[in-house]
Amino acid sequence: MKLSPPLAISAVRRAGFGALGLVNLVWGCWAVVAPEYFFATFPGLGLHWTSAYPPYNQHLIVDLGATMLTLAVLFIGAMIVDRPPVSWLAGIAAAVFGTLHFGYHALHAGHMGTSDRVLSLLSLVGGALLPPALAATHHLRTGPR
């Protein structure tokens, strides 16, 4: 079955917001439930980005988890409702957090090596730019103008 262009764009937007929601839900729960383990092992896959900024602070990690859970709610809401105002609210909120988060890490390397730092910064740029880009797809025109 082939989707029409507006339906295909909507499916991509919903999938994007859903994926962002799921990632933030998993990471947020991880940080809230097991903050010390999150600090030591985030983002996983053998990388240790959070622990590159010692010392461990349980309060800070749990607050980060709460922020991620809040973003998960916004992203999942944008996926379910799929209306421009909701998508823009989620996109702009994520861009504010993502831009400030990127800014800090762009200025502070912690104890990261070059490859970890580059990967970390790229993921932070994506986190700041992808949500508003998804929201902007509501305004794509398809077909003749």
Residue 144 resides in a domain: no
Residue 29 resides in a domain: yes
Residue 145 resides in a domain: no
**pLDDT band, residue 50 (cuts 50/70/90):** very high
**Domains held by the chain: number:** 1
How confident is the model over 84-129, as pLDDT tens digits? Answer: 999 999 999 999 999 999 999 999 999 999 999 999 999 999 999 9
What is the domain range of residue 37? 5-139
The candidate with the shortest Cα–Cα distance to 87, out of 7, 9, 22, 13, is 13
Residue 99 resides in a domain: yes
Residue 10 resides in a domain: yes
Residue 46 resides in a domain: yes
Residue 107 resides in a domain: yes
Residue 75 resides in a domain: yes
